[in-house]
Amino acid sequence: MSQPVQALLFDVFGTVVDWREGVARDAAAFLRRRPAARQDAYAFADAWRALYSPAMEAVRAGRRPFTRLDQLHRENLEATLPAFGVDPASAPEDELQWLNRAWHRLDPWPDSVAGLARLKAGHIIATLSNGNTSLLLNMAKYAGLPWDAILGAEAAQAYKPMPQAYLRTAELLDLPPERICLVAAHNGDLAAARRCGFKTAFIMRPREFGPEQRTDLAAEQDWDWVARDLVELAGILGC
């Protein structure tokens, strides 16, 4: 390798935090207050998350202006509730806001905080997530994630895997892409980063989508680094 990596940028949902457990936990509390609703919080989390990529696609395709993820999540929440027997118009606004911010209150995987602390000693560590700035910042305070900076879709005004999401982030860091490594549990995200010249590190998160997960169980390209978790990555990188 010519020059060492100076910045490690992290996908967050699934790579650093367990969105499915966190969303299901808060959805369960919301549904329990409505005994007539369908009481399946994991199915709720999965259904809500299933609308995530299509909602961003409208922005990526230019059909709507850049819209922060909190707003997309809110629209997707209202679209998800009826199938669980809840009329969004009947739910108090403060409860909807609270549930929508479940994405701000996600717990880290058991290795994340320790791994990030070690990686931070030798690198800039920052988010490169589709989450908006305030979502990622509130999550960092909640979960104790020691980011040096909060970067990603909102700062770049482009959603991954659009190349602008990676390249504008590199520009903000004032680093050439080859001095940056994307750390992610998703092969598609890494492939897009590699096309922009980033180094790549794959983290295995085989339970991100629950026990039945079928995707991203293994590295699908010869990524620069592959690790089971962030503590192992720190060891591999000599931190």
Residues of this chain that bind a copy of itself (CB under 8 A): 70, 124, 126, 132-134, 137, 140-141, 147-151, 154-155, 172-175
Cβ-based nearer residue to a copy of itself, 100 or 187: 100
Cβ-based nearer residue to a copy of itself, 140 or 201: 140
Q: How far is the CB of 100 from a copy of itself (least distance, A)?
A: 12
Q: Do 193 and 204 form a contact (C-beta atoms < 8 A)?
A: no
Q: Do 37 and 73 form a contact (C-beta atoms < 8 A)?
A: no
Both tokens assigned to 226: 């592959």
How are strands ordered across the β-sheet holding 199-203? 149-152, 124-129, 7-10, 180-184, 199-203, 225-227
Cβ-based nearer residue to a copy of itself, 86 or 170: 170
Cβ-based nearer residue to a copy of itself, 86 or 181: 181
Q: How far is the CB of 42 from a copy of itself (least distance, A)?
A: 28
Kindly give, in sequence order, each residue whose CB lies less than 8 Å from that of residue 87, ignoring residues fewer than 6 positions away. Answer: 81
Cβ-based nearer residue to a copy of itself, 127 or 187: 127
Q: How far is the CB of 133 from a copy of itself (least distance, A)?
A: 5
Burial 157-169 (b: 16+ CB within 10 A, else e): ebbbbbebbbbbb
Q: Do 239 and 119 form a contact (C-beta atoms < 8 A)?
A: yes
Q: How many residues are listed for the chain in this entry? A: 239
Q: How far is the CB of 144 from a copy of itself (least distance, A)?
A: 11
Alpha carbon distance 42, 27 (integer Å): 8
Q: How far is the CB of 134 from a copy of itself (least distance, A)?
A: 4
* Alpha-carbon dihedral 185, 186, 190, 192, rounded to 10 degrees: -150
Q: How far is the CB of 55 from a copy of itself (least distance, A)?
A: 18
Q: How far is the CB of 7 from a copy of itself (least distance, A)?
A: 9
Cβ-based nearer residue to a copy of itself, 52 or 142: 142
Cβ-based nearer residue to a copy of itself, 70 or 208: 70
Helix (H, G, I), strand (E, B) or coil at 236: helix
